[in-house]
Amino acid sequence: MTSKLTTTNHSRDIAGLKYVYPVISRRSGGLSIGINFNTNNACNWRCIYCQVPNLTVGVAPPMDFELLERELRFFLDYVLNGSFYHDFQVDKINRVIKDIAISGNGEPTSLKGFDRAVSLIGDIATELGVFPVSRFVLITNGSLVHRAEVQRGLKKLNEYGGEVWFKFDSATEEGRQLINHAGQSCQLSLQNLMLSAELCHTKLQTCVVDYDSGGLPLSERVALLNMLKKINKSVRLKEVLLYTLARPSFQPESVKLEKLSAEILNEFADQIRQLGFTVSVSN
């Protein structure tokens, strides 16, 4: 018997495939078909809220492009013409493909041949009628946008009407080290964000958590708001995806993590809206 798809069940192997997996996504608002480039559970960051087990530092392994094509064609046909919704007990309200999302178990832009993979997914989804009705999404920490291959991929994503969800959890160096264990500075990340917004429709994705009963520190709140003020003046970016924990972390810090209350999350969202941004909240 297959598992019931819910917002708390994001197993990458739930469909028995290597690269393709379905989830019911809070941020997408329904069925999202995920594409996992990082099948080795490797990432260049280590976010303390990450739900990937046995996470290691590294890059995506070589892609089997023929297998990716077979899996994606099979799975899209399964959803569009087969018994997928029945087999996975998907509620009727979620029986539509909201997006195809390049996400998975690490930083997807670390894949060698990233631009080729974007083109392959876009071509197949367009041929089968999924695009442009559904969205094409890249979920990334944005740390490699300065690379030519990644930029080619973003341009291709833009050709399919896609969008980038660019992670920016903290605008302080201390916060980035604590939350993301990121080796890239805020300034370099901001430069990559500006570049991403020039190449493709980009949304800022911010996860805020309660670490060690500290709530949302005023210093973090002020720093992020100040950064957004700068962005508002110079970057074509007007949307923020604000969310908190939904599933348990598999990182050592998990015992110190709690989701932020809806009250704090919504209050912060209102402050961001006052700067002129559209804000979506998932709690």
Q: What are the pLDDT digits (tens) for 86-140?
A: 999 998 888 999 999 999 899 999 999 999 999 999 999 999 999 999 999 999 9
pLDDT at 1: 42
| Burial class of residue 255 (count of CB atoms within 10 Å of its CB; 0-12, 13-18, 19+) | exposed
Give the strand pairing for 20-25 and 30-36: antiparallel
Residue whose pair of structure tokens reads 């939350």 in the numeric block: 179
pLDDT at 5: 63
Q: How far apart are CA 104 and CA 51, in angstroms?
A: 10
Considering only CA atoms, which of 73, 61, 136 is closest in space to residue 103? 136
Here the tokens at position 92 are: 């009727």
Cα 211 to chain centroid, rounded? 21
**pTM of the predicted model, to two decimals?**
0.93
Name the phi and psi angles at 98, rounded to 5. Answer: -80, -40
In the chain, domain spans: 20-282
Here the tokens at position 144 are: 């490699």
Q: How far apart are CA 45 and CA 272, in angstroms?
A: 26
Q: Give pLDDT < 70 ranges for the chain.
A: 1-13
| The domain made up of 20-282 is a member of CATH 3.10.310.40 | no
